[in-house]
Amino acid sequence: MRALSMYEGGRFELEEIPIPERPPGWALIRSIASAAGLFQAQMAAGMLDTNGFPRILGHEIIGEVVEVSSDAAPQRGTIVVVDAVVGCGVCEWCIRGDEMICPWMRHLGINIDGGYADYAIVPESHIFRIAPETPITEAVMLGSALPASVHATRRSPVRGGSKVIVTGVGSIGLTLCQVVKAMGATTVVAVDVSDARLEAAGPWIDGAVNVSGLEPAQADDLVLEAVGSTHGADVVFEAAGRVMSVDLAIRTVRRGGTVLLMGICDGPTSLSFDSYLAEFLSREVSLVTTFGFNRQDFVVGNALHAAGDLDLTALTGATVTLEQVPAALERIAREGTDGKRLVVDVAIP
């Protein structure tokens, strides 16, 4: 089969390798599509340990079932989306359904081979049927952006009537705006430094603030004005991965409110306060970290999408082939993604 293998130093080679053997309890999937975005560019730059080389990236996997063992799993010929988070299955976290924080967790496309190949092996328990008529460009977004947004929302106290701020409306933030609306939020304000990304979020938000070039106090005032409450929002999702964005989130959440930290701030990070007591401790603000997703999030996210509550086409960028992925990732590393994920059409020879 064809495989886009990554070697040490972020070097890629499109090569012919044997189809992987399927262990017991795993499924053989014919890859149809995956995605390419900032995360894959960061992987190529060495952000995370791949557990050896070569490694096949691509944690979003849409594919067709070729072979399974269990009668309970989607059967041969079924189009599925794959949950890339693989827990050990036996620890206390996995038993609770929290495999994304399993200390022995592995991840397809990071330290297990992923979807940048004609075939992939994945746990049978991690494949979810999707409607055959679902456009592939949308289906790919079911594999990461949507379950991650559902997971963060489920970890938050968002309910009917909630006022919500989302800082950073890239692919995750844009999805979050839709998910929190679908789950009851009545006011959603998006914060970013790009007018284009804020405009893309327009159908699902009630206010937008471009904080580019603003002093922190100015940014705070504009965000609170957009929320319609000087007390702040009930919940703030930090999806930009910037310390300044985390600071803004803490300052614009109400007393007793919750900040969900989703964005990845690469490298050493610290928060500072002019008055730790007055600005943070006495306000009883909850800081909640959220990372990845679990299998329940696929069930919820796929149901929201099937019901027509979400428009995932807003997340999708251009379509590229496996051969074009290395150049695309170099471009993303230089120029960013403008809030979209490329669709990798693996099925194109």
Alpha-carbon distance values, 187 to 3, 164, 223 (Å): 45, 6, 12
In the chain, what percentage of residues exceed pLDDT 70?
100
267 pLDDT higher than 80: no
DSSP 130-162: --TTS-HHHHGGGGTHHHHHHHHHHTS---TT-
Q: What is the pLDDT of residue 266?
A: 72
How much is the pLDDT for 15?
A: 97
Verdict on whether the full-model pTM lies above 0.85: yes
The pLDDT value given to residue 132: 80
Mean pLDDT of 87-115: 96
Q: Are strands 55-56 and 2-7 parallel, antiparallel or unpaired?
A: antiparallel
pLDDT digits (tens, 9 = 90+) for 306-340: 999 899 988 899 999 999 999 999 999 999 888 88
Lowest-confidence region among 40-54, 259-273, 309-323: 259-273
Q: What pLDDT does residue 126 have?
A: 97
pLDDT at 96: 94
Q: How far apart are CA 152 and CA 271, in angstroms?
A: 21
Residue 147, pLDDT score:
97
Give the pLDDT confidence score for residue 142 in this predicted structure.
Answer: 96
Average pLDDT (280-295) is 95
Tell me the pLDDT tens digit for each residue of 133-183. Answer: 899 999 999 999 999 999 999 999 999 999 999 999 999 999 999 999 999
Tell me the pLDDT band of 83, cut-offs 50, 70 and 90. Answer: very high
